[in-house]
Amino acid sequence: MPKRIPTISHIASLVLDLRTGLGAAKLSPSVKKITLFTTSRRGGVTAKKFWRQHLPRIAYNNPHVEFEVKVKDELNVRPRLYVSFEDANKKPLKIDCSHLKTPDGVCRRLLHEADGVPALLIGEDALADVVGSRQNKPRWEYYST
């Protein structure tokens, strides 16, 4: 049996989800690469949830950044996030995900350390396209980190 073809409204909701939310931010142009280390065994749940919930938004809004996820099959791997910069003067960042309790905390820490600026989420035209009318007042929403 063939797979169901996604509807336009479903695709629009997926794109809107990528453009809104906590991870929808532009990182500093000097950020070159983000690497996430986690384990496939128990532990590292916060890093895995960050990988599933926030990393797609960050990748969508930052096409200039290279993303890499390394999953080790060992128990003693501590979940960490490494951020590499193009500037030789700036040291690479190392964020220990095991001390942060939620994936939102990991995302906020990454955005703070990598000089993340909230992306423009919803403007008048985009809101009219999603809602289908211009009844609502024009508004601009930003996600506060």
Report which of residues 48 and 137 the model is more confident about. Answer: 48
| Residue 126 belongs to some domain of the structure | yes
Are both 68 and 38 inside the same structural domain?
A: yes
Are both 41 and 94 inside the same structural domain?
A: yes
Whole-number pLDDT of residue 68: 93
Question: Residues 57-88: pLDDT tens digits?
Answer: 999 989 999 999 998 888 778 889 999 999 87
Are both 91 and 64 inside the same structural domain?
A: yes
Around Cβ 10, how many Cβ atoms within 10 Å?
11
Are both 104 and 46 inside the same structural domain?
A: yes
Q: 110 burial class (0-12, 13-18, 19+ CB within 10 angstroms)?
A: buried
Question: Residues 40-50: pLDDT tens digits?
Answer: 877 778 888 88
Whole-number pLDDT of residue 121: 52
Q: 132 is in which domain, residue-wise?
A: 119-145
Position 85, amino acid: F
How much is the pTM? 0.72
The alpha carbons of the chain give a radius of gyration, in whole angstroms, of: 18
Unique residue bearing structure tokens 């532009």? 26
Residues 6+ apart with CB under 8 A from 5: none
Q: CA dist 57 to 1, 118, 134, 144, Å?
A: 32, 12, 27, 15
Whole-number pLDDT of residue 131: 45
Question: Residues 87-103: pLDDT tens digits?
Answer: 878 888 898 888 888 88
| Residue 92 belongs to some domain of the structure | yes
35 pLDDT exceeds 90? yes
Are both 53 and 79 inside the same structural domain?
A: yes
Are both 41 and 108 inside the same structural domain?
A: yes
| Residue 75 belongs to some domain of the structure | yes
Question: Residues 114-128: pLDDT tens digits?
Answer: 888 887 654 545 444
Residues 6+ apart with CB under 8 A from 37: 47, 70, 72, 77, 78, 79, 80, 81, 82
